[in-house]
Amino acid sequence: MTDIWSGLQAAFWLLVTFDRDLVEITLRSLQVSLSALVIASIIALPLGTWLAIRRFRFRRAVIAVLNALMGLPPVVVGLIVYLLLSRSGPFGVLGLLFTPTAMIIAQVIIITPLIASITHQAMRELWAEYHDLLISLNTSNWQRIKTLIFDGRRALLTASLAGFGRAIGEVGAIMIVGGNIDHATRVLTTAIALETGKGDFALALGLGFVLIGLALVVNFGIHVLSRTEREGRW
Amino acid sequence: MVENMAARLQDVVVQRRGKTILGPVNHEMAPDGCTIVIGPNGAGKTTLLKTLHGVERLSQGQVDWGVPEHVARQQQAYVFQSPIMLRRSVRQNLIFPLSLAGKGRAEANDRVTYWATKIGLAKMLDQPAPRLSGGEKQKLALARALIRDPAVLFLDEPCANLDGRSIREIESLLLDVQRSGTRIIMTTHDLGQARRLAGDVLFLLRGQINDYGSAQTFFAAPSSPEAVAFLNGDIVE
């Protein structure tokens, strides 16, 4: 109990004093996870929608694989990205290992299936509703995808937020490919793991509360923004 | 607008799960006027309309509009039995087909204002379309279909579940449209409406054309016994 209490105190002091390291780590966490979110959304939203509107031979298999990939173990993703980016790996020449870019790549791989799968579920329903109209209006595939993404944007927001939640709280993959290097690749989750290992529970808890607060603020912020939109009512 | 969009159905058969829904149908549609398709439930009315529109997968035969299929489809519009509202404002619903066709903003706005006034929804342009009443939705669906000036308009029971005043408004709109040269092909369950609007009548039964004729001859003296029974209000299956 004293640990939690001192953790709260530590978190409070870290916040009110705008601890420089804390700010840096927090911003890096945000930068990595938001970049991964944007890239993953650009891939996953059209992909999930496309899976909802197209009928092709291996569709069911693709969807099953996608659903299975939602539970992809981050540590394994980290390992594979590590092997690909390491000096002796195929992309070693790019020198990306132990950089924020490598962390973004790993997180994109982890959250893209999750966002695509939730998108597919949501878009299937909307497509059933719009199907006849969009076929009758002779729309191209791309026009159909755009229409569904636009009209289903509230559901897609949920999909993206789920992806963000997974990315910001993820530690296994970014620890491996980022290396938790101070002032270079240290983010909130890896810092927590490190402080816990060192036995500095107060600081670890403080960072943990900051992380939870951050996730709440981002979720809240996006919801408030989307609700103030006029059409946001649907 | 393409003049005289006449369709020819050749040996058209539509089957689903081994069951024949429509056909074999051989028929040449009149090039203009208003064709009313009547018949009991499950006779294949909707399937016939969708076949003509080119959105039904045919098991056999073909539909020939005299022009390539995508050209024909561009000239057609379809109003569904239960109106499909995009989850957007009334204005955005009306603009949608125009923006798909790449029309400019100024022209689109003019047309939207014109049609919204015509269907009496001018004051509701910024309301969400899914919140409209049943009659308003159907009128909006009709205006959205007409906003591209189609040469052919398909209507699948546009007045199902509507009351007298909405029916009158929609029918007068349809008569206007027809006068301006749009070909109308429509199904209905309402024999009164069929009499009011029909130029010619197709009577479908069990997926086949049972009787066909101009409205005058069909309603005065239908040639098949089933059509006689149907017009008399007997239950025909």
Cross-chain CB nearest to A132 (options B80, B89, B97): B80
How many CB atoms neighbour CB A18 within 10 A?
Answer: 8
Say if strands B183-187 and B152-156 run parallel, antiparallel, or are unpaired. parallel
For B10, phi then psi, to 5°, come to: -120, 115
Q: Are A91 and A85 in contact (CB under 8 A)?
A: yes
Q: Do residue A138 and residue B130 have CB atoms under 8 angstroms apart? A: no
Q: Do residue A135 and residue B55 have CB atoms under 8 angstroms apart? A: yes
- pLDDT (0 to 100) of residue B185: 94
* Residue A228 pLDDT level (bands cut at 50, 70, 90): very low
CA distance B36 to B59: 25
- pLDDT (0 to 100) of residue B3: 53
Give the strands of the sheet with B19-28, arranged side by side.
B19-28, B8-16, B60-64
Q: Which of A74-83, A216-225, B203-212 has the lowest mean pLDDT?
A: A216-225
Tens digit of pLDDT for each residue in A165-188?
999 999 999 999 999 999 999 999
Say if strands B200-205 and B34-38 run parallel, antiparallel, or are unpaired. parallel
- Average confidence (pLDDT) per 10 residues, chain B, 237 residues: 70 88 87 89 90 88 84 88 90 92 86 90 89 89 91 90 84 90 91 90 90 90 89 84
CA distance A158 to B172: 45
Reported pTM: 0.82
Peptide bond into B24 cis (omega under 30): yes
Cross-chain CB nearest to A137 (options B70, B87, B100): B100
Q: Tell me the chain B residues in contact with residue A130 when contact means C-beta distances shorter than 8 Å.
A: 84, 86
* Residue A97 pLDDT level (bands cut at 50, 70, 90): very high
Q: Are A59 and A134 in contact (CB under 8 A)?
A: no
Is residue A98 left, alpha or beta, with left meaning phi > 0 and alpha meaning psi from -120 to 50?
Answer: left
Residue A149 has pLDDT above 70, yes or no: yes
CA distance A33 to A52: 27
Give one DSSP letter per residue of B136-147, joined into a string: HHHHHHHHHHHT
Q: What is the mean pLDDT of residues A63-87?
A: 92
Residue type (1 letter), B127? Q
Q: Tell me the chain A residues in contact with residue B77 when contact means C-beta distances shorter than 8 Å.
A: 136
Chain A residues with CB within 8 Å of chain B CB: 129-130, 132-133, 135-139, 143, 147, 151, 231, 233-234
- DSSP helix/strand/coil, A174: helix
Both tokens assigned to A3: 């640990």
Q: Tell me the chain A residues in contact with residue B89 when contact means C-beta distances shorter than 8 Å.
A: 231
Domains of chain A: 33-185 (1.10.3720.10)
* Residue A209 pLDDT level (bands cut at 50, 70, 90): confident
Domains of chain B: 8-199 (3.40.50.300)
Q: What is the mean pLDDT of residues A52-56?
A: 89
CA distance A91 to A86: 7
Q: Tell me the chain A residues in contact with residue B53 when contact means C-beta distances shorter than 8 Å.
A: 136
- pLDDT (0 to 100) of residue B56: 86
Cross-chain CB nearest to A138 (options B70, B80, B88): B70
